[in-house]
Amino acid sequence: MKLDFTQMEENAMPNFKGGKLTTYGKLHVDDHNRIMQGRLTPGASIGLHTHTGSSEVVYILSGTGKAIYDGEEEKLGPGDCHYCPEGHAHTLINDGEEDLIFLAVVPQH
């Protein structure tokens, strides 16, 4: 199945999971996965959260930022993949000067 994010409406999610500013996302949800093309403007973040009952894979398409994963900082840029297994905590922060564009996949149980 092809997912064409260029044809999807972008939704604004202010203070997503307690983060700063607004997370923007184009989302596909079914019984198996939540797949989102996300966008964080400079200074925006997704709040720190623990994955209970799911994991998450975040692949950076463009821009720069960082993840805080179990208290450790990971710098991220295009082509980097951040993985947060079930039971672990993370946040995603755009600390760069351009939009941080990413693809996030959260398997559903």
Mean pLDDT of 37-65: 97
- The class level of CATH for 10-107 reads mainly beta
With 90 as the cut, is the pLDDT of residue 109 above it? no
Q: Name the helix (H) or strand (E) containing 14.
A: strand 11-14
Amino acid identity at 45: S
The domains of the chain are located at 10-107
- What 86-89 contacts at long range (C-beta under 8 Å, 24+ apart), as own/partner pairs, is 86/51, 86/52, 86/53, 86/54, 86/55, 87/50, 87/51, 87/52, 88/50, 88/51, 89/48, 89/49, 89/50, 89/51
On average, the pLDDT of the chain sits at: 97
CA distance 72 to 53: 22
Per-residue confidence (pLDDT) for residue 59, from 0 to 100: 98
